[in-house]
Amino acid sequence: MPLTINKTIRPNAIWQEMYLRVREGQRLVMSAEGIWSPEMRPATITWCGANGIEGLLAGDDYLLPGANVGALICRVGSENPPMAAGVYFDLFSPYEGPLFMAMNENPDYQNQAGSIQAQIILFER
């Protein structure tokens, strides 16, 4: 039977542990809703959902360069590469370890708002 949990992800570039351990080959499904605001410079407020700001790709100083700024991102294990999760994510994990999530943001920025609620389903192998 799959395990389903709901988590609130804060809007910052700090990896937040979801307290789920994912095994290699295990199916992980996530859906997310809500709005949050990454820090925009100069002082412009922009709200977005879990897919981030469409067409505004993150630079090398963000957690996941090349993905949308403000997108919901995740990684399995603290040393494995991050992945864009967005509004819907379905993965047979190539990695093993705890699940972490964050906003795709510059770690030096500290002025975010809002939150994203994610439903996480972890299937048995």
Average pLDDT over residues 78-107: 97
Average pLDDT for 109-113: 92
CATH number at residue 12: 2.60.120.430
pLDDT of residue 44: 77
Domain ranges, residue 7 = 3-122
Our count of domains for the chain comes to 1
The model's pTM is 0.94
C-alpha distances (whole Å) from 52 to each of 82, 123, 125 are: 15, 27, 31
Percent of the chain with pLDDT over 70: 100
Average pLDDT, the chain: 95
Look at residues 85, 91, 119, 90 and name the one whose alpha carbon lies nearest to residue 103.
85
**Amino acid letter, residue 71:** A
Condensed to tens digits (0 to 9), the pLDDT of residues 21-63 reads: 999 999 999 999 999 999 988 777 899 999 999 999 999 999 9
